[in-house]
Amino acid sequence: MPSAAEISKRLSTLPQQPAGGDQDIPLLVPPTSVAPPLPLEIDGEVRDYAYGAFQRGWYLTALSLATPRAEAGDAAAQTLLGVLYETGRGLPQDAERAASWYQLASSSGNTRAALRYGLMLLNGLGVPQDKVKAGDMFELAANDGIPEAIYNLAGLYRTGEGRPLDPDRALELLEKAADFGDVDARFQLAQFYLDGPADIRSETRAAFWMGRAARQGHVGAQVRYAILRFNGRGVAPDEAEAADWFERAASAGNPVAMNRLARTYAFGRGRDVDLEKAAGWHMAARALGISDLEMDGLLGSIDAETLAKAMAFAERYAAAADPTVVENPDNTP
In-domain check, residue 108: no
- What predicted TM-score, i.e. pTM, was given to this entire model? 0.74
Residue 28 dihedral angles phi and psi, to the nearest 5°: -105, 170
Tell me the residue type at 6. Answer: E
Checking if the pLDDT of 321 tops 90, the result is no
Residue 258 resides in a domain: yes
Q: Would residue 292 count as lying in a domain? A: yes
Of the listed ranges 24-38, 51-65, 113-127, 304-318, the least confidently predicted one is 24-38
What pLDDT shows up at residue 319? Answer: 63
Answer for the pair 22, 28: CB distance below 8 angstroms, yes or no.
yes
Let me know if residue 82 belongs to a domain: no
Mean of per-residue pLDDT scores for the chain: 84
- Indicate whether 6 pLDDT > 60: no
What pairs with residue 46 in β-bridges?
41
**78 within some domain:** no
What was the pLDDT predicted at 16?
33
- Tell me, what CATH number does 320's domain have? 1.25.40.10
pLDDT at 34 over 70: no
Q: Is residue 79 part of a domain?
A: no
* Cα–Cα dist 76/68, whole Å: 12
Q: Tell me the per-residue pLDDT of 169-220, one tens digit each, with 9 for 90 and over.
A: 999 999 999 999 999 999 999 999 998 888 889 999 999 999 999 999 999 9
| 4 vs 207, more confident | 207
**How many domains are contained in the chain?**
1
- CA distances for 122 relative to 60, 125, 127, 130, 144, angstroms: 29, 8, 9, 6, 19
For residues 210 and 187, is the Cβ–Cβ distance under 8 A?
Answer: yes
What is the residue range of 227's domain?
Answer: 218-333
Q: What is the DSSP letter of 161?
A: S
Is 274 strand, coil or helix? coil
CA distance 73 to 69: 6
Residues in the chain: 333
Beta carbons of 202 and 228 less than 8 angstroms apart:
no
**113-135: pLDDT as tens digits:** 999 999 999 999 999 999 999 99
| pLDDT, mean of residues 236-256 | 96
Residue 80 domain-assigned? no
**247 or 298, higher pLDDT:** 247
Q: Does the residue 97 lie in any domain?
A: no
